[in-house]
Structure 1
Amino acid sequence: MVLGDVLEQVRLSNEFECSIYLIILAVGVLLVAVLVCGTPLLLRDDGHGDQGRNGREGVQEPAASAPGVWQNHEWQLSVHQSCQLRLVGTGGMVVMVTGAAGFIGLHLCLALKSKGHGVVGLDNFNSHFDFTLKRERQKMLLKHGIFVINGDINDALLLRKLFDMVPFTHVLHLAAQPSIRYASENPGAYVHSNVAGLVTLLEACRKANPQPAFLWTSSSAVYGLNTKVPYSEDDRCDRPASLYAASKKAGEGFVHIYNHSYGLSTTTLRLGTVYGPWGRPDMAYWIFTRDILRRKEITIYEGPNKADLARDWTYIDDIVDGCLAAMETAEMSTGTGGRKTGPAQNRTYNLGCSKPVTLPRLLRILEQHLQVAAKIRVVEIPPNGNSPFMYASINLARTELNYDPRIEPEEGLKKFVDWYRDYTMIECNTCLTDSSC
């Protein structure tokens, strides 16, 4: 196809066809980037691998990537026990949670288990973020009777085994390669996880009998170059501003196809910026807290015309409430073993607090809770796909899910700071003698 033909197709008036075309085009661009990188996905050492608390690499347990692991009686027993309902016959959910050892995964697994639902987790324990932090989340989940399988969503054989073992009512897909900044350095990881991994999981759900309801987390980043705020679910999403956003929008296209073609009940949750205890060490609130306590200079960005950057900072408990409401209102899929018997539920919601918080305000709140003044340097925002001002309308979620976020930044950041002080008390002794730690 020549360039003129491509441009002609982009001008198609049919919005759905145009969106699907752009999705495929975006995926193609990312795949080309993978070929250029020429490195095995997720095995590349590019200096971003996190280490344990004392500077040593964490040692992973054997991954569930071979039938030899599945045939282990203890492994199968752990899966079945984790999926048991507290009260049999109560109509509870049996849920597979991918990315269970992640920030949001931890909190959602605990919330589901506390309500008596059966939960089993899946996580590949990659080292993009603090490996030790993930292991500690895993230990916490295990204490509450939640087994987290060391496996990858790209492992079709493992997924098939799990669906054969357990009649899941819901799949909550949280696993993803996050971070807008890292995407430009290793785009292949985003294709591998956010696109290929998603499709592998959708295929497993399609072939399952019964088919589960499928819920997953996309991102407000899909709104891309839109200048209208707050974003609404029906706003344009065909102009991503980053590789990460492109991977998430591509995922939304594939989810739509599996709903439309195979009767999979689907719910897409576009999240804003989530914060709280056990969060991600690469997030601004975590970095600011750490550097304020270490008396390090903090660099913050400002937008065009010296405008303050703002984000839809949402406390983890509010996000958990929204996700649970979406799960509790999810309808059954209409497909059986990949055959569609009728139209299936297909929903998209923004989840956030719809109250943008500027970076200067965020820093002031942290200074107050930490009782330490921040050393701040302000620079212009780089062209890396970050939008200066981002927040979404949550009116649809309010109406259909009774979603009602309640935690203000002052309260939420206080909870994080209290947790952070306790966590870092045992985190590392090196920082007492090494200022670069």
Structure 2
Amino acid sequence: MAILLTGAAGFIGYHVAGALLARGEQVVGIDNLNSYYDVRLKQARLERLADRPKFDFHPLDVSDRVGMEALVAANPDITDIVHLAAQAGVRHSMVDPYAYVTSNVMGHLVMLETARHLRGLRHFVYASSSSVYGANRALPFAEADRVDTPLSLYAATKRADELMSYSYAHLYGVPQTGLRFFTVYGPWGRPDMAYFSFARAIMAGEPITVYDEGRLRRDFTYIDDIVAGVVGCLDRPPTGGPPHRVLNIGNNRSEAVATLIELLESALGRRAILRHAPRPLADVTETCASVDAIGELAGFAPTTPLSVGIPRFAAWFLGWQGDKVT
């Protein structure tokens, strides 16, 4: 048996691959290695997986229908899919909207078609986002909340993924779990995310842009907790009909961006130069995840507060010389 993992060179994908390999799984990883952020970081992640005997990597885009068909034909033992590949970034969706539709909508459709034609498919787990909650004000965000007010195209594409997945579960019985990720951070993270870009700027003595005086709040979730939740859900496919569910996966705690900056300053041993700016229209004011459902299903219980996770990230960052990553 094998697990098909998309986005294997990405932040979450790399860590999920490591966890699956550590427990003896055969992992077929794919990634298009696009240049949204420094490809050197993606390649470095892959290099750390390459020497694992049960890891098989293919440079492939999830929106490539022909390529995906060929890959599956060559790997008939695939029984599970963890679909994490996507064009990420809320603000960048205002710059290059077509990339989001190609990767997040067409790519998701290709993966759904791939899943429904697999013989013996056990479970299809895919990445959604807390961004789907959009303009919701009630906290913590719960899976039963309405999600029809997306504030960015990125959020809209992720909600489209959830709706397409429901239809495939209804029409074809494809067992699926969508995971709404809440602001994942940690070692080997994404340079476009605030904590990483802040660290790079602090070490370079450059100013960081802080929106709304640092009052924006996020449910920062450490990567190890995320991986435990992903793997725990993968092991528990839904039953009944339609076999589709959507779950939050977060830390269940909202922290101010100002607190994040203070923790980075302490861990890096340098003061940040702040440049204040109004909140972008695509950004929500606060996020916080209700994790009751995933806790009941998979025993998910995040254990890493921001005060612990940021020093761990900073230690990796200083060793990696992440200030040189673009």
Q: Please, what TM-score do these two structures have when normalized by structure 1? A: 0.72
Paired letter, 1:278? W
Query: What SS is found at the alignment partner of 1:216?
Result: strand
Taking the aligned partners of 1:319 and 1:123, their CA distance within structure 2 comes to 20
1:155 corresponds to which of 61, 64, 68: 64
8 Å contact kept, 1:168–1:212: no
8 Å contact kept, 2:140–2:252: yes
Deviation by residue 1:170-209 (Cα, 9 ceiling, x = unmatched): 1000000000111011110001000011101111111121
2:295 is matched with which residue? 398
Query: What SS is found at the alignment partner of 1:127?
Result: coil
Taking the aligned partners of 1:268 and 1:241, their CA distance within structure 2 comes to 20
Taking the aligned partners of 1:363 and 1:398, their CA distance within structure 2 comes to 30
Matches within 5 A, 1:355-370: 355-370=253-268
Change (3 A) 1:350 1:414: same
8 Å contact kept, 2:3–2:78: yes
Q: Is 1:171 aligned with 2:81?
A: yes
Deviation by residue 1:16-45 (Cα, 9 ceiling, x = unmatched): xxxxxxxxxxxxxxxxxxxxxxxxxxxxxx
Paired letter, 2:263? I
**Greater radius of gyration (CA):** 1
Taking the aligned partners of 1:420 and 1:354, their CA distance within structure 2 comes to 25
Q: Is 1:292 aligned with 2:202?
A: yes
8 Å contact kept, 1:365–1:413: yes
Taking the aligned partners of 1:265 and 1:412, their CA distance within structure 2 comes to 33
2:28 corresponds to which of 120, 132, 140: 120
Matches within 5 A, 1:37-436: 94-145=2-53, 146-164=55-73, 165-302=75-212, 308-331=215-238, 343-383=241-281, 385-424=282-321, 428=324
Taking the aligned partners of 1:123 and 1:136, their CA distance within structure 2 comes to 13
8 Å contact kept, 1:280–1:286: yes
Paired letter, 2:148? D
Change (3 A) 1:106 1:168: same
Query: What SS is found at the alignment partner of 1:169?
Result: strand
Change (3 A) 1:212 1:163: farther
Paired letter, 1:403? F
Paired letter, 1:417? A
8 Å contact kept, 1:352–1:392: yes
8 Å contact kept, 1:110–1:144: no
Deviation by residue 1:339-359 (Cα, 9 ceiling, x = unmatched): xxx835212110000111101
Query: What SS is found at the alignment partner of 2:78?
Result: coil
Taking the aligned partners of 1:343 and 1:227, their CA distance within structure 2 comes to 31
Query: What SS is found at the alignment partner of 2:316?
Result: helix
Query: What SS is found at the alignment partner of 2:36?
Result: coil
> Shift of the alpha carbon at 1:154?
1.6
RMSD over equivalenced CA pairs, Å:
1.7
Q: Please, what TM-score do these two structures have when normalized by structure 2? A: 0.95
> Shift of the alpha carbon at 1:410?
1.6
Deviation by residue 1:284-335 (Cα, 9 ceiling, x = unmatched): 1011111111121222011xxx681000000000000000110111158xxx
1:29 is matched with which residue? none
> Shift of the alpha carbon at 1:223?
0.6
Percentage of identical aligned residues? 38
Query: What SS is found at the alignment partner of 1:226?
Result: coil
Uncovered stretches (5+) of structure 2, i.e. residues with no partner = none
Paired letter, 1:313? F
8 Å contact kept, 1:265–1:345: yes
8 Å contact kept, 2:177–2:238: no
Change (3 A) 1:331 1:388: closer
8 Å contact kept, 2:165–2:244: no
Q: May I ask how many residue pairs the two structures share in their alignment?
A: 324
Taking the aligned partners of 2:82 and 2:242, their CA distance within structure 1 comes to 17
Higher alpha-carbon deviation: 227-236 or 157-166: 157-166
Query: What SS is found at the alignment partner of 1:406?
Result: coil
